[in-house]
Structure 1
Amino acid sequence: MNPKSGLAKWVTGKWSRWVTLLIWIAAAGLMSALLPSVNNEEKNNAPNLSDSKPSVQAEALANREFPGGADIPALLVWHRGTGLTDEDLQHIQKLSGQWTEAPVPHQTSIPPLHQVPLAALKGQLSEDGSTLVTPVFFSKSADTDQLKEGVDKLKEDAAALLGANPFEAAAGSDNELTARATGPVGIQIDATGLFKNADFALLMATVVLVLALLLLIYRSPILAFIPLVAVGFAYGVIGPLLGWMAHEGWITVDSQGISIMTVLLFGAGTDYCLFLIARFRQLLKTEGDKGKALRAAFSGASGAIAMSGFTVVLSLLALLAAEYGAYHRFAAPFSIAIFVMGIASLTLVPALLAIIGRASFWPFVPRTEGMQAERARKKGKPAPHAAAAPRYRIGSAVVKRPALIVIASIIVLGGFAAFTPQIKFTFDILSSFPEDMASREGFKTIGEKFSEGELAPVKVMADTQGKAVSLENDLRALPYVAELSKPTIGKETPSIVAYDVTLSMNPYSLEAMGHIPDLRAAVESSLQKAGADSPENSVWIGGQTAEQHDTKVTGDRDTRVIIPIIIGMITLLLLVYLRSVVATVYLVLTVILSYFSALGLGWLVLHFGFGVDAISGSIPLYSFVFLVALGEDYNIFMISSIWQKRKTMPLKQAIREGVGETGSVITSAGLILAGTFAVLASLPIQVLVQFGTITAIGVLLDTFVVRPFLVPAITTLLGRRAFWPGKYAPIEERNVRSS
């Protein structure tokens, strides 16, 4: 790009720079005023599984044949360590009667405990008489806010009757009556609440961290605010744009996605800004005209910024190929955010730099030697000595011992990657919650006093076709079945029979999920023995354990599909940009190696440092999307510098100077990006703690191992072969003085 024409001239022009700034101010202001906020358009109960999934089909059948199954329960866990008293039980019965006559918002039904004799109610207590679980059913169509409204009313009624709120009493109290809302409703409310409460704290923590790191690294208050201003304006456009798209039904956004998008925007956005700022700062030391320096910096950095942003956008768009809803919903918000931020980096940031000029770096303003001498003359001081030639220690070490560096880097990265087979995964949603969260406390009490499986029974339905099927006996005989309900007959199809199966284990555990195929096989076997036709088409298994099983199967499918798509797109982009098959191959392979190293090292940190027994099953794909795309950003920026310099100097010198000149900006950018992802580790949501930790580790490995050592060392070893089949015009190699 010619620095004297096109976009570079426009965004840095005398008047057009102000026009650029005004356009961004108007865009952010008008869009924020006229379009809905993305936070008001969040949909946190959007389905993650399509209608073709077995558990979803089972749910549809249950809604039709067993209408009562269309309700979702809030399980109220009543507990007194010394044992529930008759007065406690009578109060619970009064509440049952009250909620029967005057249902709370969105309540559909409740068991008539007020009509049960006290002696019979005592039979439903735990063995030690300390605990009772009572369900309250809510409409399946109610969203999280509506469910919370209903549960809050339950708590208010209980507090009014008892004189104290048992839902606020300390868990584990022996002498005090405690109550907790758990089950599907309680879990959904708590999960959504965690993300909602985390949004503002996450935003503030990210802003403070980025500002602190920028001040620490560049020691300039004005410069520290320039990237934040750019990100702020970009967010002012992105938020309303996404809100409008969600309002129109084109996309779906949720709290988790918005939280991660905020981190990504600040981390990646600041990186793109720094790529330009660092080049501008460097040129100001040799160019007296700030406009020429800025246009030259724009010309040198804009290609790498655009390529880096495009790589991330396409990688995120690959999530559109996902079948799992949570993955698919991330594609549009994340890619749009990076796209808008890329535009801001190439328009708003250079406009701000053109307006502020050298003062952007105050109090350490970069000046040419002539400017420094003139400044010293006016102050009556001797002219400063000419600056010594820059010393590129890392670049010099790389070109001196490339083989040793490649071997050492591969040993380090490969050693961490070797731990990936030891990683254990979980799909237990409760493991992501803080231990003191109400739904988890209630679940723990159920597990201790009853059976964990009661939290979410598995619904088994079969079409007996009028045959005498020994289904009940066969199900009771299964070793992992703790209890079995009485059979119910289908409303529209009497030949369909349903059982609620209580498992003898945590229904959200990997072990429980693994028994879903076993349950299906057992039912099909019963139908086959009875002579039923097509037993494989006559069995439906629903419930949350079945949904989690389908989630795992769908997630595994998405991983197999999306990872090759991302690798293929990044490979194609690098081929077009670098015009080198060899360089493209080793750039992609090094980032993949870095990804597996981050997984392995992340597992060690989480397992031994945080005491995590298993990480969320969604982490590998999420981490891959971000680490491969963002990790390639640093490679692109550094390799672009080498590719440009080798046109005017020997390759080894180009590597030496390219690594040296990009080292400081990539290091600072990497620290900021890793820091923003590490902020996620401060949240009380384990899935974000795990994602933030592994991604931050991956960014640091890219910043301090892959970019400064491994990639340039491989380039040095390959020499002119690194450019194949692109043209390489050799320049006579000359001795490069060591630094």
Structure 2
Amino acid sequence: MRSALTNIVHAIVSKKGRWITIGVWIIAIIAFQLLLPPSGDYTDDTIEPLSEDQPSMQAASIMEEYFPNNDGLPGLITWYRESGLEEEDLAAIQELSQSMTDNEVEAQEMAIPYQDIPLPALQEMISEDGTTFIQTILFKSNATAEDTKAGLTEIEERATEILSDNPFGAALDSDELVTRATGPAGISVDATELFADADVTLLIGTVLLVLVILLLIYRSPILPFIPLLAVGAAYAVATPILGWLAKEGIISYDSQGIAIMTVLLFGAGTDYCLFLIARFRLFLYEEKSKLKAIRLALSDMAGVIGISGLTVVAALMSLLISQYATITNFAVPFGVSIFIMMISSLTLVPALLSVIGRTAFFPFVPRTEDMEEKRAKQKNKKVKKHKQLTFWHRVGEFAAFKPIRTVIITMVLLIGSSLFITQIDFSYDTLSSFPEDTPSREGFSIISESFGSGDLAPVQVVFDTAGEDVDLTEDLANLNGVAKVEEPEVSEVDENIVMYQLELDQNPYSNEAMDDLESIQAGVANIKDDYELSDVWVAGQTAEQIDQRSVIEKDQTNIIILVVVVVSILLLIYLRSITAMIYLVGTVLISFTSALGLGWAILHYGFDVPAISALIPIYAFVFIAALGEDYNILMISNIWEKKRGRPIKAAITEGVGQSGGVITSAGIILAGTFAVLVTLPIQVLVQFGLITAIGVLLDTFIVRPLLVPAITSLLGKWAFWPSKQMEEKSESLDTEK
């Protein structure tokens, strides 16, 4: 195995091999870019996250089968005038309605013919305060967000032509007629718009951030471009592969997934590059030959980078067990991109370093003592001996020789932060994650203030009466949480199927509405039994959110357990120590809980965020656990390597001293890339970026340099149990001490 690795290393960084490696990457990039489709062409933001066997999806299927006129994506064109709607406004609405009846807009399924409603009756449909009118349009249920957007754009153009002014662009606080598109159709379009340029924005922002941080860390105008070239190459290869997989229908993904993938690739990819660069720089102080130095560096770090990459890939692929499509669709894009990045780190990076050599670190070029002496003689100067940084050695020494104090201090901080998780409220409301000036959110605010928020997404209750002649309007109206019940509608397909539309008291996207609807679902089940009806289904946005909550809660438990098991197995295989595996996984878990708690405290108490997305714990855990183990592996590998020639406490001091700098650099870059998400206008990405960045920083500055070394010091030789080789060496070295 060792000889095989040596042969591979020599092949990659030999005089000919390095050029072949670079050439293969160039050919691969050109071929994939020319022959395979871009990933951006196949993003799908209309993917239904729930499976067909969920109750709300079964109810939606019943609605589609028996009430085809109600099947579609509702769009609520909200008309508002602060001083009160006028007859001319209603006439314009009727003219627009006539236009859509005569000439349908893109993706239109059905538009209510308001032009056929007499003006007095139309005035009755205005809100009680006289300011708001809701014009309902159904778009085709299978229409893409682009199709729906095209339809709404046509409506805006026609309204502008009728009114000689664009009401969709009017400010809410003006005296003009204001129009906003909301409801599921408007929300869908706005969600797509918000994510449309997220991947490009993130790509530019992440590249600039990584470049600046690398320039500050290494103070070299050359070195920063090596990781960026490697990550860029991986990105150029991975994205066409994802595009091809999506085109063939093998995978699916949305704009949000591609945006986060960009951050992950540049953050984690730069980390792997820095692991190798730091070791290469160290060997350049000992070896005159740059080829020998890169061979030694690659031989030392190949295992660390390989197991780190595989750990991240395995953790990400664990998302495939999710029953929620939004989560499942992250697995393959993330896993493929990290796997390709790992290959780039092990092939392209060493090849580039073997070509550039010491010049990569210009102007602070690392040289051997002989080279420095020769250079000094030529310039008639004294030799400046290379001095290693001592800060991280002092940190390592503190953790190694005062382990109890270190463990107590760090655990108090981490456990204290973790306590905030008991106060977290979770949200399943897509709309609340939008900026306040988003059209669909402004439209929702208008409806909520004028009519009541229940109008935005009503609930459909469908009974199979089995031939019973019953009117259930009063029974439904008496259920807690129901604000209004519309007249029942009998299916034209089967007269036994009757649908009642309910308006909820609460915002239909809120947790309160979900709790109310769960009670309503129990109530309609009792009504079915009391009247001996055949069956009942509950459909609508709130019903879907209830199923989402149930599925996500189950996914969270299953995914966390699976990731812990997978990471534990990989650590056990690599370290061959049960003890080390247990406490390393334990430190990652405490990093996650403290990051989640601290992130919630900052968002809730600092920025008045009432709730965070229910998906955040799953996303944050997978990334913090997987990426945190990267630093664990590097730190422990350094400690174990140093232990072969010194007592355990000295090995910890030296191991932390040697790896502390590179872990700090990598952690700052990784946290910075996730922090870029905070600049986006989508709250779910802001929350995810902040919490994950906090987790990375806790790993970088507290867990890895302090807690892990302190636990290792406390355990002594038992930190390596049951590895006999490690135990025997530890005993002999401790005896020497």
Question: Structures share a fold, TM > 0.5?
Answer: yes
- Worse overlay, 474-483 or 20-29: 474-483
Could you tell me which of 704, 709, 713 is aligned with 1:707? Answer: 704
SS at match of 1:52: coil
User: Partners in 1 of 2:703 and 2:164 — Cα distance?
Assistant: 63
User: Partners in 2 of 1:119 and 1:500 — Cα distance?
Assistant: 24
Match of 2:253 in 1: 253
Match of 1:191 in 2: 191
User: Partners in 1 of 2:663 and 2:646 — Cα distance?
Assistant: 23
SS at match of 1:90: helix
SS at match of 2:503: strand
CA contact (8 A) 2:418 2:598 kept: yes
Match of 1:690 in 2: 687
Match of 2:626 in 1: 629
User: Partners in 1 of 2:109 and 2:320 — Cα distance?
Assistant: 37
Which one-letter code corresponds to 1:681 in the other structure? V
User: Partners in 2 of 1:543 and 1:45 — Cα distance?
Assistant: 16
CA contact (8 A) 1:4 1:295 kept: no
Q: How does 1:154-165 map to 2 (within 5 A)?
A: 154-165=155-166
CA contact (8 A) 2:75 2:139 kept: yes
Q: Deviation per CA, 1:93-123: give whole Å up to 9, x if none.
A: 1111111101111112211111111111111
- The Cα of 1:296 is off from its aligned counterpart by 0.6
- The Cα of 1:387 is off from its aligned counterpart by 4.4
User: Partners in 2 of 1:520 and 1:393 — Cα distance?
Assistant: 62
Match of 1:440 in 2: 441
- The Cα of 1:227 is off from its aligned counterpart by 0.4
Match of 2:570 in 1: 573
SS at match of 1:223: coil
SS at match of 1:136: strand
Match of 2:543 in 1: 546
User: Partners in 2 of 1:457 and 1:240 — Cα distance?
Assistant: 41
Q: How does 1:258-657 map to 2 (within 5 A)?
A: 258-385=258-385, 387=387, 392-469=393-470, 471-532=472-533, 538-657=535-654
User: Partners in 2 of 1:385 and 1:12 — Cα distance?
Assistant: 29
Q: Flag the 1:387–1:698 CA change in 2: closer, same or farther, 3 A.
A: closer
- The Cα of 1:734 is off from its aligned counterpart by 7.9
- The Cα of 1:532 is off from its aligned counterpart by 3.6
CA contact (8 A) 2:648 2:733 kept: no
- Worse overlay, 409-418 or 111-120: 111-120
Which one-letter code corresponds to 1:623 in the other structure? A
CA contact (8 A) 2:619 2:688 kept: yes
CA contact (8 A) 1:520 1:539 kept: no
User: Partners in 1 of 2:469 and 2:48 — Cα distance?
Assistant: 37
SS at match of 1:721: helix
Q: Deviation per CA, 1:19-60: give whole Å up to 9, x if none.
A: 100100110111000100000011111111111001110011
- The Cα of 1:482 is off from its aligned counterpart by 1.2
Q: How does 1:1-20 map to 2 (within 5 A)?
A: 1=2, 5-20=6-21
Q: How does 1:108-123 map to 2 (within 5 A)?
A: 108-123=109-124
Q: Flag the 1:299–1:133 CA change in 2: closer, same or farther, 3 A.
A: same
User: Partners in 2 of 1:207 and 1:388 — Cα distance?
Assistant: 29
Which one-letter code corresponds to 2:433 in the other structure? S
CA contact (8 A) 2:230 2:344 kept: yes
User: Partners in 2 of 1:35 and 1:385 — Cα distance?
Assistant: 52
- Worse overlay, 260-269 or 85-94: 85-94
CA contact (8 A) 2:407 2:707 kept: yes
User: Partners in 1 of 2:558 and 2:186 — Cα distance?
Assistant: 34
Q: Flag the 1:321–1:388 CA change in 2: closer, same or farther, 3 A.
A: closer
Q: Flag the 1:151–1:405 CA change in 2: closer, same or farther, 3 A.
A: same
- The Cα of 1:504 is off from its aligned counterpart by 1.2
SS at match of 2:224: helix
Match of 2:213 in 1: 213
SS at match of 1:222: coil
Q: How does 1:57-206 map to 2 (within 5 A)?
A: 57-173=58-174, 175-206=175-206
CA contact (8 A) 1:641 1:658 kept: yes
Task: Could you tell me which runs of 5 or more consecutive residues in structure 1 were left unpaired when the two chains were aligned.
Answer: none
Identity %: 50
- Worse overlay, 178-187 or 636-645: 636-645
User: Partners in 2 of 1:686 and 1:62 — Cα distance?
Assistant: 32
SS at match of 2:50: coil
Which one-letter code corresponds to 1:277 in the other structure? I
- The Cα of 1:386 is off from its aligned counterpart by 6.5
CA contact (8 A) 2:6 2:299 kept: no
Q: Flag the 1:107–1:646 CA change in 2: closer, same or farther, 3 A.
A: same
Number of aligned positions between the proteins: 731
SS at match of 2:696: helix
User: Partners in 1 of 2:415 and 2:385 — Cα distance?
Assistant: 47
Q: Deviation per CA, 1:222-280: give whole Å up to 9, x if none.
A: 11110000011101100100000110110002100000000000000000000000000
Q: Flag the 1:529–1:569 CA change in 2: closer, same or farther, 3 A.
A: same
RMSD: 1.4
- The Cα of 1:380 is off from its aligned counterpart by 2.2
Match of 2:32 in 1: 31
Which one-letter code corresponds to 1:656 in the other structure? T
Q: Flag the 1:564–1:387 CA change in 2: closer, same or farther, 3 A.
A: closer
CA contact (8 A) 2:198 2:255 kept: no
CA contact (8 A) 2:396 2:653 kept: yes
Q: Flag the 1:383–1:167 CA change in 2: closer, same or farther, 3 A.
A: same
- The Cα of 1:517 is off from its aligned counterpart by 2.4
Which one-letter code corresponds to 2:703 in the other structure? V
- Worse overlay, 714-723 or 373-382: 373-382
- The Cα of 1:547 is off from its aligned counterpart by 0.7
- The Cα of 1:726 is off from its aligned counterpart by 0.8
User: Partners in 2 of 1:119 and 1:387 — Cα distance?
Assistant: 88
Q: Deviation per CA, 1:650-686: give whole Å up to 9, x if none.
A: 2111111111100000000000000000000000000
Q: Deviation per CA, 1:673-721: give whole Å up to 9, x if none.
A: 0000000000000000000000000000000010000001000010001
Match of 2:49 in 1: 48
- The Cα of 1:197 is off from its aligned counterpart by 2.5
Match of 1:232 in 2: 232
User: Partners in 2 of 1:402 and 1:224 — Cα distance?
Assistant: 36
- Worse overlay, 516-525 or 296-305: 516-525
Task: Could you tell me which runs of 5 or more consecutive residues in structure 2 were left unpaired when the two chains were aligned.
Answer: none
SS at match of 2:732: coil
Q: TM-score, normalised by structure 2?
A: 0.97
- The Cα of 1:3 is off from its aligned counterpart by 9.9
Match of 1:660 in 2: 657
SS at match of 1:134: strand
CA contact (8 A) 1:2 1:299 kept: no
- The Cα of 1:388 is off from its aligned counterpart by 7.2
Which one-letter code corresponds to 2:444 in the other structure? F
User: Partners in 2 of 1:389 and 1:204 — Cα distance?
Assistant: 33
User: Partners in 1 of 2:383 and 2:132 — Cα distance?
Assistant: 84
Q: Deviation per CA, 1:602-648: give whole Å up to 9, x if none.
A: 01111122221110111011111111111111001110111122122
Q: Flag the 1:131–1:389 CA change in 2: closer, same or farther, 3 A.
A: closer
Which one-letter code corresponds to 1:707 in the other structure? R
User: Partners in 2 of 1:387 and 1:59 — Cα distance?
Assistant: 69
User: Partners in 2 of 1:187 and 1:504 — Cα distance?
Assistant: 21
Q: Flag the 1:426–1:323 CA change in 2: closer, same or farther, 3 A.
A: same
Which one-letter code corresponds to 1:490 in the other structure? S
- The Cα of 1:312 is off from its aligned counterpart by 0.5
